[in-house]
Chains A and B, each alone.
Chain A
């Protein structure tokens, strides 16, 4: 028996013993095809999925390498059925290819063709009701014409039926525009450079980096590589402003070259930053701003926070398959389970690094995660017990028993930049009042928000109370303490974002603190358990303390 660090389970999960001397080599060997599912401190769990295997094929790995990686590092014999399955699955990729072919009768015309090396596969996929209409004239036994506008939808449907097409149709270069990184006083970190290279090499795809690891710079790097007009899609206006600031600071782009396309402004410039919201706005049943996608001959489209990409944008994106697409995200986990759509429409995962690795390299701050449990007073317990199920979470998470704890924690970390994050406005206002701090909610104007952020950044104010508007893409470099008082039920994605708020590296290398305050024996604690499982799976061990011990 081989003494490897890896145990291959029959349910296609891989257990990697982290403390094993060969763990690093094994991790490198399996990372291209296995998705890291959980990374707690001792044994990491990877999963082999068809998507992951196809990702690996797309990145140029073959089944033999995968099988070899499994056998070499496995402690026990790898179930043969699994090896056969791996080979079979990987063999399905590339049987179908999408290519662009010149037309003989009209020299400048080209058409998109779905080709196969294996006739039965083509016959099989063409029998699907959803696929047949996406194709046109049958050229011969092995090829069929595809309507260019259906390129994305076709890829999506083919993936669903288990015959992913290799897209060799290439990309349009788009309208050229000079963009360079201005690396006078900074440099891309090595992993950021790897991410840019990985993306550029593959053409399209998703880069997964933890919050605070500098995804914006990966975007900027990709733009500098493309040197073409770029459309950046972000979640909201604040995020759009930050992208703009960051691009002006880090690249040769000037303010005039960058346009903002949002509810307030409709500028179309060589580099245009648009919000998801404006794109999905409907007027009289039609998307009013779809023209933006065709407004210029975009050479690159960047999707920020891919895991939040709304479904309509997916549909729009299906039409943009000829353009290079870069997705940025902290986690491929989508609460709606549409990971496969990300794969087929934006592209395979091109780069991924475990959080802890980047933390170990000092690029993100180490974090101390603590769950503080408060007991509800008897009166509230009674009220909770008799409340309607839909009211329970609100009752439990907004308990005023949490207030002294918040105060105590704020006091302990006095002087350190502290964020108090919550879900319910009443609660936030109450907390703000007790702490004497400002509140930022969805109602706060953009101008006011910017003012507060700036003040926070320079240290004029050390405590901010924020609602879930702060979940995404705000950049608060010096926040080192986050206190979570209520959340969107058990959202793991939200937990990742919130933890990300404090993970940006601190000037003095301080440890970040991440507190979650929950009410004992209620749904609040159940949801917290769900979110903490996510933390633990990301490698952040957490402690549980009693409020009484704290105060």
Chain B
């Protein structure tokens, strides 16, 4: 580290390139838009919004240390920190403080570590559940009221009921409502009289921070958890086989969903989404439980395989993508689903819960949109990836680990989401029997370079002056080599590049999908068992020629008269049918099956049905003769079925029009009794292929490098100017980012320091003033000017500021 700093800005200006890169990587929001120079980078790093983001991303260990640094006060001794944290593991604490410094939540001054001014604001008054300091609660109180020894002595004298009341407030909240009547009132009064509680309003009291700390015996947290809790995992076997099986089933479910919705698309609700009834119908046809069904539906939607078709009466229909998807290789099909799932912000487990509206949340509806689920999903997968291959985590310990990573999230919501993600991974085949599968690992791989551990290690090599490798190793204990490193995890990572990842994922999964079989086993009870997924041609034949009775690794088909008839209807002859079965079957074809086919074939076609779209009937046969003979009517391809009936494959309306044109006077007869030949329409909505999305280049190392280079260049220019300025009297005031100005003014208020400002008046002329700012609020600065008068300056008119030297 270079020269000791006097402020965050100084600290940041003093950092090396590598450290700056680490800072920006840890807090990507600083890079957007690119700051002009290091000063504005520093100012931005100190804004409340940015600090808030950084603090929210802290894990429990880092948060606890940060709280300790705040409570310990500026430039506190390391031993004070250790005491507050109740640990003697200085190495771990140092490393965490180093992390906090690296992400600019703490800056190093001449005298020691300081928290960035906005951090306490972000943490709020109740840091770690402690109340505000005595001095803040009651500025008039004498300092001895805050003296720990006095407090300890007073507490020791406290009557039992008073001490019980204190104990209830010890671990927060450090506020209480005064009981309305005795005896509670009396109890509280004793405490108030002895300055262990401080009244904040007529009926509320607060426990001052100093008292709280004494009651906590000097410790800040009930339990200090600087290192992540271990994930208990047990080894499981056959992970990939199980995942392959699940993946294969998942593909089947999506296929079936597409088939069901292609034939009979459900309506889109007015508020968006799928009605409860339609979901239930889908559930019946997929034969799954409700949550699993919702998952399949949302998965297909996320992958762009089903969508709102956008018609006047909109329906959920398979998109045109589905045909391409269906015909591609199984591994690729799976990869498409898995990548879509990973990037999806939809949370199927919320389906059926009470939504924002009156009813329960509908599948595909707006209430199921929950962006946080994507981050949770990725975090869960990262934790899974951190385990040894082939080990399945104990759910409770995994939930605990994630709660440790995200101390700011509601535990109940997080736990529920984690369980849901684990269930979904299992259904999808990302995990098998609880452990991450090989394909799952390939899917997560692109996320891993951004893992905190990796970044932490790099930072150690680059700028870790304070941290020895030994200490880092100590921190890594019980962590299986992952995850404990940096406290700052950026939540917004750009999705991995879909194409390349998908290839790898597809390849990884292909190996474990059950390999297709080319034979079936036909039995005397007219069932045929396909002991695995069937190869294409045979598969479609069996789906046509037999009914599916049971699904899973194998498929059981049953030949029934109806199914045989279906095949004959589709153009198979009895001989072809029997021959195909004979060729595909590893077992002799049972005689009753041949008999069945022959029997159905015998009856097949006894009644004939043609595909006419319209008929013409007339009691006057001569009219019909005329029509048949008419050259103009040949395009209608009229055919005589009976002396008084003609049929045509043309649409009735066309028929009527054309006959009228030719001098006949036909009447349209309505639909009764007509046989309309129509294939079931398969609806397709327009493609909803998600484009590459808004082009956001990731805040990665090369980008950051460029950025830092730019900052350095700007800094050099500024230095140049500074040198020039020294030749002239008075400070030169550079035009500054208002954020920088504000933070400088705030610093000046705090340090009671004079500031030179550039101020533009109503005519646009800029003047210089040396002021002593007293308060910054509401876009105005109250300050005393050179003459000692109090004046108010609009912040937006201040062109720049510099501290009085």
Which residues of A approach B to under 8 Å, CB–CB?
Answer: 1-2, 7-11, 13, 15, 17, 38, 40-43, 45, 71, 74-81, 371, 521, 532-533, 536-537, 540-544
CB nearest to B528 among chain A residues: A43
Q: Taking the nearest CB of chain A, how far is it from the CB of B604, in angstroms?
A: 13
Contact among B242, B525, B527 for A77, CB-based, below 8 A:
B242
Contacts of B238 in A (CB 8 A): 2, 71, 77
25 A-B contact pairs sorted by A residue (CB < 8 Å): A7-B552, A7-B553, A9-B553, A11-B552, A15-B531, A15-B550, A15-B554, A40-B523, A40-B525, A41-B523, A45-B556, A74-B553, A75-B531, A76-B514, A76-B552, A76-B554, A77-B243, A78-B242, A78-B245, A79-B245, A80-B242, A521-B603, A536-B523, A536-B525, A544-B592
The CA of A541 and the CA of B593, in the complex, are separated in Å by: 11
Interface size class of B (residues with CB under 8 A): 35 or more
Interface SS of chain A:
mixed
Contacts of B664 in A (CB 8 A): none
Are A10 and B552 CB-contacts (below 8 A) given A76-B514, A78-B242, A542-B592? yes
Residue-by-residue, is B35-58 near A (CB-CB < 8 Å gives 1, otherwise 0)? 000000000000000000000000
Contacts of A537 in B (CB 8 A): 525
Q: Which 4 A-B pairs have the closest CB atoms?
A: A9-B552, A76-B553, A536-B525, A77-B242
Q: Tell me if B551 is interfacial: C-beta within 8 Å of chain A.
A: yes
Contacts of A2 in B (CB 8 A): 238, 241
A533 B526 Cβ-Cβ under 8 A: yes
B552 A536 Cβ-Cβ under 8 A: no
Q: Tell me if B595 is interfacial: C-beta within 8 Å of chain A.
A: yes
A41 B587 Cβ-Cβ under 8 A: yes
Interface SS of chain B:
mixed
B525 A38 Cβ-Cβ under 8 A: yes
The CA of A45 and the CA of B557, in the complex, are separated in Å by: 13
The CA of A74 and the CA of B532, in the complex, are separated in Å by: 12
Q: Tell me if B249 is interfacial: C-beta within 8 Å of chain A.
A: yes
The CA of A537 and the CA of B123, in the complex, are separated in Å by: 72
Q: Tell me if B426 is interfacial: C-beta within 8 Å of chain A.
A: yes
The CA of A38 and the CA of B528, in the complex, are separated in Å by: 13
The CA of A81 and the CA of B434, in the complex, are separated in Å by: 11
Q: Tell me if B137 is interfacial: C-beta within 8 Å of chain A.
A: no
Contacts of A543 in B (CB 8 A): 591-592
Contacts of B529 in A (CB 8 A): 15, 42-43
Q: Taking the nearest CB of chain B, how far is it from the CB of A213, in angstroms?
A: 22
The CA of A76 and the CA of B249, in the complex, are separated in Å by: 12
Q: Tell me if B524 is interfacial: C-beta within 8 Å of chain A.
A: yes
B531 A7 Cβ-Cβ under 8 A: yes
Q: Tell me if B349 is interfacial: C-beta within 8 Å of chain A.
A: no
The CA of A41 and the CA of B434, in the complex, are separated in Å by: 37
A77 B552 Cβ-Cβ under 8 A: no
Contacts of B527 in A (CB 8 A): 38, 40, 43
The CA of A74 and the CA of B238, in the complex, are separated in Å by: 11
Are A15 and B556 CB-contacts (below 8 A) given A38-B525, A80-B434, A542-B592? yes
The CA of A31 and the CA of B525, in the complex, are separated in Å by: 21
Are A41 and B552 CB-contacts (below 8 A) given A77-B241, A77-B242, A544-B591? no
- Summed over the interface, the residue pairs from A and B with CB atoms below 8 Å come to a total of 110
The CA of A75 and the CA of B532, in the complex, are separated in Å by: 10
B524 A79 Cβ-Cβ under 8 A: no
Contacts of A8 in B (CB 8 A): 552-553
The CA of A9 and the CA of B550, in the complex, are separated in Å by: 7
Q: Tell me if B371 is interfacial: C-beta within 8 Å of chain A.
A: no
The CA of A201 and the CA of B214, in the complex, are separated in Å by: 69
Query: Which residues of B from 512 to 545 have beta carbons under 8 Å from A?
Result: 514-515, 521-527, 529, 531-532
Q: Taking the nearest CB of chain B, how far is it from the CB of A354, in angstroms?
A: 14
Q: Taking the nearest CB of chain B, how far is it from the CB of A19, in angstroms?
A: 8
Q: Taking the nearest CB of chain B, how far is it from the CB of A295, in angstroms?
A: 47
Q: Tell me if B246 is interfacial: C-beta within 8 Å of chain A.
A: yes
Contacts of B550 in A (CB 8 A): 9, 11, 13, 15, 45
Q: Tell me if B481 is interfacial: C-beta within 8 Å of chain A.
A: no
Contacts of B603 in A (CB 8 A): 521
Q: Tell me if B262 is interfacial: C-beta within 8 Å of chain A.
A: no
Q: Tell me if B432 is interfacial: C-beta within 8 Å of chain A.
A: yes
Contacts of A521 in B (CB 8 A): 603
B524 A536 Cβ-Cβ under 8 A: yes
Residue-by-residue, is B218-255 near A (CB-CB < 8 Å gives 1, otherwise 0)? 00000000000000000000100111111001000000
Are A77 and B244 CB-contacts (below 8 A) given A15-B556, A543-B591? yes
The CA of A224 and the CA of B514, in the complex, are separated in Å by: 54
Other A-B pairs, 6, CB within 8 Å; known A2-B238, A40-B523, A79-B242: A40-B527, A75-B531, A75-B553, A76-B514, A76-B532, A533-B526
Contacts of A17 in B (CB 8 A): 521, 531
Q: Taking the nearest CB of chain A, how far is it from the CB of B334, in angstroms?
A: 15
A1 B241 Cβ-Cβ under 8 A: yes
Q: Tell me if B772 is interfacial: C-beta within 8 Å of chain A.
A: no
Q: Taking the nearest CB of chain A, how far is it from the CB of B434, in angstroms?
A: 7
CB nearest to B595 among chain A residues: A544
A1 B552 Cβ-Cβ under 8 A: no
Q: Tell me if B209 is interfacial: C-beta within 8 Å of chain A.
A: no
B245 A76 Cβ-Cβ under 8 A: yes
A541 B590 Cβ-Cβ under 8 A: yes
Q: Tell me if B433 is interfacial: C-beta within 8 Å of chain A.
A: yes
The CA of A544 and the CA of B550, in the complex, are separated in Å by: 27
Q: Taking the nearest CB of chain B, how far is it from the CB of A4, in angstroms?
A: 11
Contacts of B245 in A (CB 8 A): 76-79
CB nearest to A11 among chain B residues: B550
CB nearest to B239 among chain A residues: A77
Contacts of A41 in B (CB 8 A): 523-524, 587
The CA of A10 and the CA of B556, in the complex, are separated in Å by: 12
CB nearest to A5 among chain B residues: B531
The CA of A543 and the CA of B524, in the complex, are separated in Å by: 9
The CA of A542 and the CA of B523, in the complex, are separated in Å by: 11
The CA of A274 and the CA of B287, in the complex, are separated in Å by: 47
The CA of A238 and the CA of B652, in the complex, are separated in Å by: 73
The CA of A541 and the CA of B525, in the complex, are separated in Å by: 8
CB nearest to B245 among chain A residues: A77
B521 A10 Cβ-Cβ under 8 A: no
CB nearest to A532 among chain B residues: B592
The CA of A42 and the CA of B531, in the complex, are separated in Å by: 12
Most buried by B among A17, A41, A76, A533: A76
Q: Taking the nearest CB of chain A, how far is it from the CB of B620, in angstroms?
A: 36
Contacts of A76 in B (CB 8 A): 241, 245, 514, 532, 552-554
A42 B525 Cβ-Cβ under 8 A: no
The CA of A105 and the CA of B550, in the complex, are separated in Å by: 59
The CA of A128 and the CA of B711, in the complex, are separated in Å by: 74
A542 B524 Cβ-Cβ under 8 A: yes
Contact among B514, B552, B554 for A79, CB-based, below 8 A:
B552
Contact among A74, A80, A532 for B432, CB-based, below 8 A:
A80
CB nearest to A76 among chain B residues: B553
The CA of A371 and the CA of B426, in the complex, are separated in Å by: 49
A79 B523 Cβ-Cβ under 8 A: no
A80 B426 Cβ-Cβ under 8 A: yes
